[in-house]
Amino acid sequence: MKHRYVWLLSAGHLFTDLNQGALPAILPFMITEYNLSYAAAAGLVFAANFVSSVVQPLFGYLADRVSKPWLMPSGILLAGAGLAVTGFLSNYWMLFAAVTVSGIGIAAFHPEAARMANKVSGEKKGTGISIFSVGGNAGFALGPIITTASLLLFGLKGTLILIVPAIIMAAIVASQAGKLHEFQVRPKKMGDSRNEIVKDEWAPFSRLTVVIFCRSIIFYGLNTFLPLYWINVLQQSKAVGGTALTILFTVGAVSTLLGGRLADRYGYNKIIRIGFAALLPLLIIFNFVNDAALATVLLIPVGMALFAPNSPMVVLGQKYLPNRLGLASGVTLGLAVSVGGITAPILGRFADIYGLTYAMHLISYVSIVAAVMAFTLPIPGTNSTR
């Protein structure tokens, strides 16, 4: 495993997904400032994900044909710039457009970066992809901290802080993109054509995509509504609401690393099944807790169950489609994941009508489908689910 490149890609992932973590932390301030409904606020999450869901598999398809390392620094820069200007826009549709630009940047980064992460991970793909993934989780965790602190100090114009890390990281990745490209396109050794003769397994990949759909809905539901739940249901401050999200993603970062290492040792399928089997009862218990301190404690096992299967699912998708790593990454990290952002406005409308508590219950029921489908996934290259 090429540790230097794996950690570089992980850092790029962090500074890209920092913007995805920042958006939910911005929403309570926008709701207060512009009197947005829950549905309108969730619509901005939709903006960040709808275009991304369409474009990201196309970027993945392109990466399989001709590697484009410049997509990574460009994506990081667009992801940060789009959100940085939102604090200066009072028109809802201009906000929608700016958040969409951020989503396009996120879409440009992920397939190429995940494809490269697979290549530089060698035989320890679970560990390598988990390191890459934990960068994204860390970004989700840091996003609310940086953004909430900046907005509390400077008001909505504090979103401008997000352009600073984007510029710095884009420059670093751009300086190393050529070396990564050279590593990927080195000629194969004689007789090393295993990936060319292995068939792509589309049926298992489709079932895996359903599992990721479900996880994405749960993930984005929590990502969007957790701060609002802490503020409006548990009667906590905006700062505490942002902290709850940070706790979830911090636990998620650790769990992602652990999940990747355990998957290399015990198998990708097993870690995926354990995670989703545990998630349903944990979410149901969480929804019946009215004490903020106990709810905060429960974020730990919820985060572990939600995030531990993350990198094993990405690797499993790449193993199901060994001849289309970019496309597999574009779907598992793009299309499937963005489904959660696309469904966010629906959940927001449900919350407007029935309340946040019932919306959180609805999110928990999605894990039933994920758990059932997880047990139908075969081991790559076999018809066995054991």
pLDDT in tens, 37-47: 877 887 887 77
Residue 195 domain-assigned?
A: no
For residue 194, tell me if it sits in a domain: no
Q: Please choose, from the candidates 27, 92, 58, the residue with its C-alpha nearest in 3D space to the C-alpha of residue 335.
A: 58
Domain at 261, CATH number = 1.20.1250.20
pLDDT > 90: percent of the chain: 34
63 within some domain: yes
Tens of pLDDT, residues 174-193: 988 777 766 555 444 444 44
Helix ranges (H only) for the chain are: 3-34, 38-65, 71-84, 92-120, 125-154, 163-185, 194-197, 202-232, 238-266, 268-287, 292-307, 310-320, 325-330, 336-354, 356-374
Please indicate, yes or no, if residue 80 is contained in any of the structural domains. yes
Q: In total, how many domains does the chain have? A: 1
Instruction: For residue 123, count other CB atoms closer than 10 A to its CB.
Output: 9
Where is average pLDDT lowest: 84-98, 172-186, 309-323?
172-186
Helices marked H in 66-162: 71-84, 92-120, 125-154
Is residue 150 a part of any domain in this protein? yes
Q: What is the mean pLDDT of the chain?
A: 84
Instruction: Name, of 240-254, 276-290, 372-386, the range with top average pLDDT.
Output: 276-290
Q: Is the pLDDT of residue 10 over 80?
A: yes
CA angle in degrees (0–180, nearest 5) for 213-215-216: 65
Mean pLDDT of 5-13: 90
Structural domain contains residue 379: no
**Stretch 306-324: mean pLDDT, rounded?**
89
Per-residue HEC secondary structure of 155-182 comes to HHHHHHHHHHHHHHHHHHHHHHHHHHHH
Asked if 41 and 31 touch (Cβ cutoff 8 Å), the reply is yes
When pLDDT is averaged across residues 17-21 and rounded to a whole number, the result is 87
Q: Using alpha carbons, list the distances in angstroms from residue 335 to 59, 209, 346.
A: 11, 9, 18
Confidence of residue 194 (pLDDT cuts 50, 70, 90): very low
Q: 117-126, 281-290, 295-304, 343-352: which range is least confident on average?
A: 117-126
pLDDT higher than 80, residue 56:
no
Q: What is the pLDDT of residue 139?
A: 86
**pLDDT by residue (tens digit) across 103-133?**
889 888 888 888 888 778 777 777 888 888 8
The answer to whether position 190 is within a domain reads no
Tell me which residue range forms the domain holding 228. Answer: 3-184+200-374
Flag whether 381 is in a domain.
Answer: no
